[in-house]
Amino acid sequence: MSKPRVAFLFPGQGSQHVGMGKDFYDHIPFAREIYDEANEVLGWDIARLSFEGPKDELTLTCNTQPAIMVHSHIAQTLLREEGIEPVMALGHSLGEYSALLAAGALDFRTALLLVKGRGKHMHEAVPQGGGAMAALLGMERDAVEAVCQEVEGVVEVANYNAPGQLVISGEREAVESVVALGADRGVRKSVMLPVGAPFHSSLLTEAGERMGEVLDSVEFLDPGIPVYTNVTGKPIRNGEEARQMLKKQVRAAVLWEDSVRAAGQEDVDAFVEVGPGKVLTGLNKRISRGTPIFNVEDRASLEKAVSGMAEIA
C-alpha cells in the first residue's frame, strides 16, 4: 500500500487565537520543550501569551508571527511522528517560513529569529492605525485591481487567496474607500482584518529592505522538498532562491491561489493545514475542491487527520 502524496499548508497572520497550542503543551512533552526553547530564543514568554492572551497583545505583529510559527512547527513534527511525510510545502505569507523550516532549509532557532525580526520590522513600518487590510468577497481580480486604481492614496491587492476572495492593503483611508466603492461594484462582503500593519503593500518597502539584511546574515540550506513561494506561485528548490523570495515577499502580493493550483498539478492526494485555525482549509475548498484537506492544531484534529490519511492510502 503506497502512502498518499501530502502537501503541508502553513497559515499566516490572522489565524492566531488565544489558547492556540495549549492542548499540545498540556499533554505532549515535546511541545513543552519547543515552547521552552522558544521562550529562551525570544526572551519573553510566548507560551503564556499564546495560551492566555490578551488577544490585543497576541494580535500585535511582533508577537503573532513567532507564536504561529511555533505552533505550526509542533504540529508538523507530530504529523511526521505519525508517519505522514509531506512531498511539498506551501506557506501563506508568514507561513512560508514554517514551510522552509519543515523542508529543512532552516533550523528552528534560525527560523524563529528570522520571524522575530520580520515581525518587528513589519510592526514598526507604519504607525499603529495608519495602515489597514480588508478581505473582499465576491469580486474577481481585475475588478478589484481596477477599483484600487480609482481611489486616492496607497491601496493594493495584497493576497490573491481564492476565486472571489482577495485582500487589499494600504493606507487606512484608501482601504476604506475601496471597501465603500466595492459595495456598489459587486462585493458580496467585506471584512476589515485584525492585523497590525498593511502587509504585502508598497508601504512595507523599507521593512523589506531591513528584513533583507537579516536574511543575508543566516545560512539557507536547499529544501528537502519543493516549497511553493508566495511571490511567484512556483516551487523553489535551493536555499539561495528561498532567501531571495523571502526578501521580496514582505511587500509583494501573496499568490496563494496560484500556488495551490500549481501544487495540485503534482498529483497531490491530500492537503493538510498545519497550525492554528482553518483559514487555509476554507480557501482550499474553493481552489482545489476535489482534493481532501485536513487541519491539525490539537490532538483531536491530529487524530482525525491521521485516520483520514489512512483511508486515502
Task: Give pLDDT, residue 59.
Answer: 87
CATH number of the domain where residue 255 is located: 3.40.366.10
The model's pLDDT over 141-156, given as tens digits with 9 standing for 90+, comes to 999 999 999 999 999 9
Asked if 85 contacts 99 with a C-beta cutoff of 8 angstroms, the reply is: no
**Euclidean distance between CA atoms 17 and 11, whole angstroms:** 12
In angstroms, the CA 130 to CA 198 distance is: 8
Position of cell 495602515? Answer: 131
Q: Which residues contact residue 142 at a Cβ distance below 8 angstroms, ignoring those fewer than 6 apart? A: none
Do residue 97 and residue 213 come from a single domain?
Answer: yes
pLDDT in tens, 94-131: 999 999 999 999 999 999 999 999 988 887 877 676 78
Please tell me the predicted confidence (pLDDT) of residue 307: 95
Asked whether residue 219 falls in the same domain as residue 75, the answer is yes
In angstroms, the CA 89 to CA 86 distance is: 7
Per-residue model confidence (pLDDT) at position 272? 98
In the predicted model, is pLDDT for residue 291 greater than 70? yes
The number of distinct structural domains making up the chain is 2
Q: Is 40 part of a structural domain of the chain?
A: yes
pLDDT > 90? residue 200: yes
* Residue 232 belongs to some domain of the structure: yes
Residue bearing the bigger pLDDT, 312 or 178: 178
Taking the alpha carbons of 252, 253, 254, 257 in that order, is the dihedral positive or negative?
negative
- Where residue 135 sits, what CATH number does that domain have? 3.30.70.250
Same domain, 162 and 231: no
Question: Of the candidates 145, 178, 195, which is a domain's last residue?
Answer: 195
Identified catalytic residue from 98, 200, 259, 288: 200
Residue-averaged pLDDT of the chain: 94
Amino acid at 61: T
Take residue 136 and report the three cell numbers written for it. Answer: 473582499
Mean pLDDT, residues 215-223: 96
**Domain final position from 142, 171, 195:** 195
SS (H, E, C) 11-69: CCCCCCCCCCCHHHHHHCHHHHHHHHHHHHHHCCCHHHHHHHCCHHHHHCHHHHHHHHH
Residue 240 pLDDT > 60: yes
Q: Which of 50, 72, 93, 190 is catalytic?
A: 93
1 inside domain? no
> In this structure, are 241 and 264 located in the same domain?
yes
Whether 200 is catalytic: yes
Q: Are residues 142 and 87 in the same domain?
A: no
153: left (phi over 0), alpha (psi -120 to 50) or beta: left
Structure-block grid coordinates of residue 125:
513600518
β strands within the chain, DSSP E:
6-10, 86-91, 131-137, 155-162, 165-171, 189-192, 227-228, 235-236, 270-274, 293-296
pLDDT digits (tens, 9 = 90+) for 64-98: 999 999 999 999 999 999 999 999 999 999 999 99
pTM for the full predicted model = 0.95
254: DSSP letter: B
Q: Could you tell me the maximum CA-CA distance found in the chain, to the nearest angstrom? A: 59
Q: 255: which 3 cell numbers?
A: 499568490
- Same-domain status, 241 and 277: yes
Are 156 and 301 in a shared domain? no
Helices 108-125 and 61-81 pack at an angle, to 10 degrees, of 150
Residue 224 and residue 120 share a domain:
yes
Digit-coded pLDDT (tens) for 9-36: 999 988 999 999 999 999 999 999 999 9
For the beta sheet containing 227-228, the strands, ordered from the edge strand earlier in sequence to the opposite edge, are 235-236, 227-228, 86-91, 6-10, 270-274, 293-296
Backbone angles phi, psi at 139, to 5 degrees: -110, 145
63 and 81 together in one domain: yes
Report d(CA 264, CA 252) in Å as an integer.
Answer: 23
pLDDT confidence tier of residue 196, bands split at 50, 70 and 90:
low
| Residue 158 CB burial class (10 angstroms; 0-12, 13-18, ≥19) | buried
| Run of H or E including 182 | helix 172-185
116 and 226 together in one domain: yes
Of 172, 195, 218, at which residue does a domain stop?
195
Q: Is-cis flag, bond preceding 54, omega within 30?
A: yes
CA distance 140 to 145: 9
Residue 253 predicted with pLDDT over 80? yes
- Residue 146: domain span: 131-195
Domain identity same for 122 and 136: no
